[in-house]
Chains A and B, each alone.
Chain A
């Protein structure tokens, strides 16, 4: 079974530039999550999708972050404009609504450095 795919793995941009991350979840997983993980901290949920609908985006800085999952499969997370404090690893995860255990499968993450 293929895991969660993310690209790019690394990205370096200057502040005020824009950046986009892509995630392809495990086939058949209805739920998709985007997390921000700052060095030394636990992952912070940014947005959760159920198919192509948003379940929770309460911690998404909507003035600069946006995310979409148009066809209920893959997803993109965008930051525009980026700030220095956005430097972090952005993790994508997916889970199946059919499972009795709420297990999230994480991708390898995208490490963003804003200079």
Chain B
């Protein structure tokens, strides 16, 4: 199974850009990288997914280098409501592994 490693926690202030990096050294050729957000007492919610290079949607960007051994979730101009746990997920034909998550705390 592909193993993922993320920072346990990060702190930020409202309006700042936050970058969370996930390491997945043994990612397979067919695996995708997906990021989820989870609030207390709720199930995870999809943020963004990518295979390589850069993907951007209305809430985040995902940067994946050429070797695909890591990925960075970028949240532009965070607000207090972005305080949550963020999970990196490597998924493919034979693997589906969530990381331990990064607790992001956004302060005023």
Interface residues in chain A, defined as those with a beta carbon under 8 Å from any beta carbon in chain B:
4, 33, 40-45, 48, 56, 91, 93, 101-109
Interchain pairs with CB closer than 8 A, number: 45
Chain B residues packing against A (C-beta within 8 Å): 32, 34, 36, 41-46, 49, 87, 91, 94, 96-101
Chain B residues whose C-beta falls within 8 Å of the C-beta of A109 in the assembled complex: 41-43
* Residue from A101, A104, A105, A108 in contact with B42 in the complex, judged by beta carbons closer than 8 Å: A108
Kindly state the separation between the CA atoms of A41 and B102 in the bound complex, as whole angstroms.
10
B interface: dominant SS: strand
In Å, the complex CA distance between A105 and B87 comes to 14
Known interface pairs A102-B34, A102-B91, A103-B49. Does A42 touch B43 (Cβ–Cβ under 8 Å)? no
Cα–Cα, bound, A80→B83 (Å): 37
**Is A102 within 8 A of B49, CB to CB?**
yes
Once A102-B34, A102-B49 are accepted as A-B contacts, the answer to whether A41 and B100 lie under 8 Å apart by CB is yes
Set of chain B residues within 8 Å of A56, measured between Cβ atoms: 94, 96
Known: A102-B49, A103-B34, A104-B36. 9 other contacts (CB 8 A): A42-B99, A43-B87, A43-B98, A45-B97, A91-B43, A91-B44, A102-B34, A106-B43, A107-B43
